[in-house]
A and B are shown apart, each in its own frame.
Chain A
């Protein structure tokens, strides 16, 4: 059945009379050419995978260098120095917010059912108010200093950026061989040490401000008026503890400022951790742009978590039912039905989320009998929960189909042996069939996770698109907060960025992270199936 190979042994005409002259191209027969052509097509998937990696890296790799530049100017222009003070001022603002929250709670408690009139309650809280405003005003000198220094630092940064633009202009002129024009571009140098003098010289003034602030807050805290309601005492104590921590941090800030050195170089190794562990994704800001993937990564994972929490029980439960219990007629109804769901375009599901599901879930959350649910009631229509519900619908067909396959692959003999030993159907399913197919089910869940992490349109439309790490302090309440995701940010911002800018490259870096993540999820799913395959199947 195999034809004689012409290269290895030319057939002897005397022995083998059926002989055909073969047309040869570059020493290959036509058949060889055809085979090579098909082989070339088979290689395409390898090539595409390589090209994806290559182009993501090609467009994204420049990010590290650019981010290093971004971070160095942050240091050189003194923005880093000012941010030390700014963080201190923000910590103080957080404390005042705590105070106003405390006041609102006490006011509500005082004017609550059977309570006093509003004016009486306000009068009762007058001492507290005096304390709070004193606390707030104490930081005024600090805030003044911050805004003063901010202007200086921002001005230095602007000048630096103008110079960078000029350098770019000269480079382009040189590239176009316009030497005279290039020579005419004047590039002034910035003497950062001199420019930073006003900022550095503010250190003694800052020490004075700091000492005053510490003294004033210390006196205020010592004379903290007692709130009438004893149930708020723990909160007051907590406030005092927080304020003491805040005060205790002052010397450290001063030390940081003394040790601060604008010439300390940003090493190449710093740009990458700033991306991977950065907690801010802030673009087109007047002060400083940050490209940290953590908020996007958490967003993606939280949405996926909610989706899987819904999809895994449903998908696996349905698979068990269809495979172990359902009659043939029911199988013919359920299987195509669920496969039909997988054909829903994701953008249609996203639209459904905006148009119907968002409102429906919010209305549901405002029902009094559901108030026990974490985060309920909520007012943001588009959030993790809405996106998670729709993504669950996307993940369910994947999980169902693959889990059903895994259940199907369990050798019949195992099930029959179990039943023959007197186990009930439930016992057989739970103790024999499910453990035997566990690797397949886990890989189904992993592939469902890959599907959900990579899904774009639903999260872009329904996740709320707020770039922030959700607040985990309320327990499970984070599921009703809006987030932004890795896929969503690429889809949203890619159309608006300048090609070659740091923002553009940062988006390609996010794409690269997504690519690596999905490959590793996919790989571990395959690995689990291979590793724990039943010997007989």
Chain B
């Protein structure tokens, strides 16, 4: 193509030749990040999927999802390698008394399933998110609907921003010092709820405020002009429309609550507990007992037991279920948001 002969033609210079190189590098950076993320994700999904799914009906490894963790015993029996869980191993030894003499290697937590951990994580998420949403939405209502700019409000906002930057392990120490020791709740579900709730509070407040800001001012003005009180306005004309946004915001919070290990390490998580949280004598006792939780279980099985073919099953399986659970909770609140949003349009 012949170059046009006008004076503004772009000259080819060093800068021009450099441009595709520099932008190419930045593009490579963007895709490298995605590739790294995908590599981690696929590794967990592929190897964990092998534990959780199976080729025969019902295609899902029900035992893994519905049983408690057990020790795994590996031994040679009549020329075959046997891998039995704790209960099976004991039954086997009763059936074949000679098996007791065969040396068996044991791996803790490597057999059975992770049902108590799933239950524990769900309880932690539901409880702490309820607390955090209640406190967070109320705080956001005050900040957006009532407060006038002033020294006090600036102070509150500064506290919110700074609270968001506090490391999760510091929240763990705080929860340990306050709830576990000072209030005497010991390592319990309740202590975990409050520790996690305070940790996600800034996320919930910031996001709820955004959602409240998105409600048009006319809704408030119109309602007040018709004689409604401030509270009636907020309750009837602001909150319902802000709810979808608030729920979306809580997705971020849920991912954080479910994913953090450090805050629950000394406040709510047990390494192992035989009873499920509701198997207690009185209903209130359930609140003052710790639970097993998926993230803590992953920490335990990846640091306290060796890495080999026998333990890999439970390690990857737990990680996969954990990722899937976080994704599931997030999807639920996205669906919920879309339903609510379809109802209100402005």
A residues sitting closer than 8 Å to B (CB atoms) are 1-3, 18, 30-31, 34-35, 37-39, 41-46, 48-49, 51-52, 55-56, 58-59, 313-315, 317-318, 320-322, 324-326, 333-334, 337-338, 340-341, 343-352, 354-356, 393, 396, 400, 422, 424-427, 430, 447, 450, 453-457, 460-461, 487, 490-491, 494-495, 499, 507-508, 511, 514-515, 518-519, 521-523, 526
The answer, among B174, B266, B296, B302, for a CB contact under 8 Å with A350, is: B302
B161: Cβ under 8 A from any A Cβ: yes
Q: Which residue of B lies closest to A47 (CB)?
A: B159
Q: A46-B156, A456-B261 are in contact. List 10 more A-B contacts (CB 8 A).
A: A1-B221, A41-B135, A45-B205, A326-B27, A346-B260, A347-B298, A457-B295, A507-B173, A511-B169, A515-B170
| A to B contact number (C-beta, < 8 Å) | 268
Within 8 A of A (CB), among B247-273: 255, 258-262, 265-266
Q: Does B340 contact A (CB under 8 A)?
A: no
**CA separation between A56 and B307, bound complex, in Å?**
36
What separation, in Å, do the CA atoms of A24 and B181 have in the docked complex? 41
Judge whether B57 is part of the interface by a CB distance below 8 angstroms: no
26 contacts between A and B (CB under 8 A): A35-B142, A38-B142, A38-B146, A45-B156, A45-B201, A48-B201, A52-B166, A52-B174, A317-B25, A317-B26, A318-B33, A325-B27, A337-B34, A343-B255, A345-B255, A345-B260, A345-B323, A347-B296, A348-B298, A348-B319, A355-B315, A393-B36, A400-B33, A491-B169, A494-B176, A519-B165
Q: Which of B13-21, B60-68, B283-291 forms contacts with chain A?
A: B13-21
B138-152 at interface with A (beta carbon < 8 Å): 138-139, 141-143, 145-147
A321 neighbours in B (Cβ, 8 Å)? 23, 26-27, 29-30
Which residues in A have their C-beta under 8 angstroms from that of B326? 343, 345
**Is residue B101 within 8 Å, beta carbon to beta carbon, of the partner chain?**
no
Query: Which one of A317, A338, A424, A508 contacts B177 once the chains associate, using CB atoms below 8 Å?
Result: A508
Q: Judge whether B231 and A31 touch: CB under 8 Å.
A: yes
B197–chain A nearest beta-carbon distance, Å: 10
B68-122 residues with Cβ-Cβ distance < 8 A to A are none
* Minimal beta-carbon separation of A339 from chain B (angstroms): 9
Q: How far does the Cβ of B97 sit from chain A's closest Cβ, in whole Å?
A: 38
Name B residues whose Cβ lies closer than 8 Å to a Cβ of A.
8, 10, 15-16, 18-19, 22-23, 25-34, 36-37, 40-41, 43-44, 135, 138-139, 141-143, 145-147, 155-156, 159-174, 176-178, 181-182, 198, 201-202, 205, 221, 224-225, 227, 229-231, 255, 258-262, 265-266, 295-296, 298-299, 302-303, 307, 312, 315-316, 319, 322-323, 326, 330
**A491→B201 CA distance, assembly (Å):** 22
Question: Separation in Å of the B147 CB from the closest CB of chain A?
Answer: 7
What's the dominant secondary structure at chain B's contact region? Answer: helix
